[in-house]
Amino acid sequence: MLQLAGVVLWSAVRHPVGYWGSVRDQMFSVLKLCWLPMAVSTTAFGLGAPGLQGGNIFLLFGIPERLGSFFIMASVREFAPWINAMVVAGVVGTAVTADLGARRIREEIDAMEVLGVDPIRDLVLPRVLAVTFMTGLMDLVALVFGVVGGYIAGVGVLGANQASFFASFFDNATTTDIWGSVAKTTVFGFIIGIVCCYKGIHVKGGPIGVGRAVNQAVVSAFAAIWIVNYVFTTILLGLNPQMQVYK
C-alpha cells in the first residue's frame, strides 16, 4: 500500500495533466453518494452522544450554555472528522474496491497493461485524488451539521440560551481547530483511497474474492484511520497547548 501511495503521488506530480476530468467526475460521484448519509450521521451523533449525554452533565451544574465550548473538543476535533471518514469508507470505499475488483476479475486491467495503458494513472489516481479532496471538503459540512446536532440538544432540548451557546462555542474555536480538522480528514481520505484501490486491483478468487476484498478494505481503512487519528491529534495538541485551555 505504501508503494502504491508513492506511485500515485509521483504520477500526479510528474505529469499533472490529463486526469482532472476523471477526478472531477469521481468527486461528483463521491458528493452524490455521501452528502446525505454524512449529514444525517453527524447531526444524529452530535445530538445523541456529545449533545444529550454531555449536555446532561453540564445541566447538573446549571451551565447548559457551556455545551458550545464542549463541541469544539467533541465535534470539531474528533466526531465530525471521524464520522465523515467512516461514511466515505463505508459508501465510496466499498464501491471503489468492488469496481476495481470487478475489472480485475474480468481481466480489464490485464488488457490495459497489455495495451500499454497505465491502470494506476487511469483508474487509481483519479479515484484517490477525488476521495482525498472530497473527504477534506465534506468535513466542513460535517462540522456544521455536528454543531447543529449540538444546538438542537443544548438549546432545543436542554433549554440553554442560544446566544450564550454560540458565544461559548466561538470563544473556544480557533483557526487551528478548523484547519487541523480539515487536514486530518484529508489524510483520512487519502488513506481510504489508497487502501480501497489497493484491495481492488489485487483481487483474486473471482466474485467471492471481490466480496472478500471489499470487507478487508473497509476494515483495514477503519483501523488505519483510528491509528492516524490518535497520532495526528497527539501531535496537534502537543504543538498547540493553548488548544487545551477550556475558556
pLDDT at 32: 92
The arithmetic mean of pLDDT across residues 163-184, rounded, is 89
* CA dihedral angle for residue 203, residue 27, residue 231, residue 84, rounded to 10 degrees: -100
Nearest to 168 by CA among 74, 54, 72: 72
% of the chain at pLDDT higher than 90: 60
pLDDT at 138: 94
Question: pLDDT tens-digit profile of 140-161?
Answer: 999 999 989 989 988 888 888 8
pLDDT at 141: 92
Asked whether residue 177 carries a pLDDT value surpassing 80, the answer given is yes
The arithmetic mean of pLDDT across residues 13-41, rounded, is 92
Name which residue leads in pLDDT, 166 or 132: 132
Neighbours of 157 (CB within 10 A): 15
- Do the Cβ atoms of 141 and 40 come closer than 8 Å? no
- Do the Cβ atoms of 194 and 4 come closer than 8 Å? yes
153: left (phi over 0), alpha (psi -120 to 50) or beta: alpha
The arithmetic mean of pLDDT across residues 86-93, rounded, is 94
Length of the chain: 247
pLDDT at 69: 85
pLDDT at 33: 92
Confidence of residue 68 (pLDDT cuts 50, 70, 90): confident
Would the CA dihedral through 183, 189, 195, 198 be positive or negative? negative
pLDDT at 74: 83
Confidence of residue 65 (pLDDT cuts 50, 70, 90): confident
Asked whether residue 246 carries a pLDDT value surpassing 80, the answer given is no
Which pTM does this prediction carry?
0.92
pLDDT at 94: 94
pLDDT at 13: 92
pLDDT at 201: 93
